Amino acid sequence: MGNIVSLRKVAKRYTRGKEVVEVLHSLDLDIAEGDFVALMGPSGSGKTTLLNLIGGLDRPTEGEVIVAGEHIDRLSGAALARWRARHVGFVFQFYNLMPMLSAQGNVELPLLLTRLSAAQRRANALTALTIVGLADRARHKPSELSGGQQQRVAIARALVADPTLLVCDEPTGDLDRRTADEILGLLQVLNREHGKTVIMVTHDPKAAEYARRQLHMDKGALVDGQVS
């Protein structure tokens, strides 16, 4: 399989007051289509910044970011938004669901950007909720769901538009071990059975074991890589 993510000499610098902080230093990275990669490293090592660049949420200061065949560092703001809608599903540590919408309403959100009819949107959202095992909770608000269930809804929202890759930032960071294992198992199923490329940032070595490959970062650079 070809690479779905290619980063070439990517650097990212932030200006904090008068100080310039270089978070990523001339980083090269390739991730193959269908891979499940765990990005690990201490706090401040640049994991989330790297994830944000791959997910098209941020732009590099230098270098090229090619994801799903697109030089996303060259896209305009509107084009990048369209690209994200088409290619990336995001899963966050704290779920980031809309509290006033039901599980189904949350999962339907990405589909509002498509040309699907209301009935098709409903059907697709229900399918995504079925995949994550929450079809019976479709009408529940996030506040009526447990943390693990909320994260399942977030995963359903991430995959409902059939994205090329799933980008997960500490998806189990707020969950207990058992629930975390369920969520990681689900991500594994999505990777192995549905062919989704998964890139996951985690602090948790046990969570990283679910990935096919672990990448370690320190001080803005990749340290080594291993296949689990």
**Which residue, 32 or 63, is less far from another protein as judged by CB?**
63
- Residue in this structure with the two tokens 């447990």, named with its chain if needed: 146
Rg (CA), the chain: 17
Residue 98 per-residue DSSP state? -
Residue of the chain from 26, 28, 71, 100 that contacts another protein (CB under 8 A): 100
Task: Give dist(CA 11, CA 194) in Å, integer.
Answer: 33
Residue 56 per-residue DSSP state? T
Residue of the chain from 109, 140, 218, 221 that contacts another protein (CB under 8 A): 109
Stretch that binds another protein, among 107-115, 178-186, 194-202, 213-221 (CB under 8 A): 107-115
Task: Give dist(CA 147, CA 161) in Å, integer.
Answer: 23
The reply to whether 2 sits near another protein by the rule CB under 8 A is no
Q: How far is the CB of 123 from another protein (least distance, A)?
A: 15
Q: How far is the CB of 109 from another protein (least distance, A)?
A: 6
User: Which of these, 226, 218, 207, 199, lies nearest to 35 by C-alpha position?
Assistant: 199
Residue ranges of the alpha helices (H) in 59-194? 77-87, 103-108, 118-131, 147-159, 177-192
Q: How far is the CB of 81 from another protein (least distance, A)?
A: 4
Site residues for another protein, window 143-162 (CB under 8 A)? Answer: 157
Task: Give dist(CA 208, CA 62) in Å, integer.
Answer: 29
Residue of the chain from 20, 118, 189, 223 that contacts another protein (CB under 8 A): 118
Q: What kind and span of H or E run contains 208? A: helix 205-208
Task: Give dist(CA 188, CA 91) in Å, integer.
Answer: 14
Binding mask 59-88 for another protein (x = CB under 8 A): ------------------xx--xxxxxx--
Residue of the chain from 11, 57, 75, 135 that contacts another protein (CB under 8 A): 57
Residue of the chain from 46, 60, 105, 171 that contacts another protein (CB under 8 A): 105
Stretch that binds another protein, among 108-116, 125-133, 142-150, 194-202 (CB under 8 A): 108-116
Task: Give dist(CA 3, CA 55) in Å, integer.
Answer: 15
- Residue in this structure with the two tokens 């990523």, named with its chain if needed: 24
Residue of the chain from 20, 98, 123, 189 that contacts another protein (CB under 8 A): 98
> What does the binding site for another protein look like in residue numbers (CB under 8 A)?
52, 55, 57-58, 77-78, 81-86, 90, 92, 96, 98-101, 105, 109-110, 112-113, 118, 121, 157
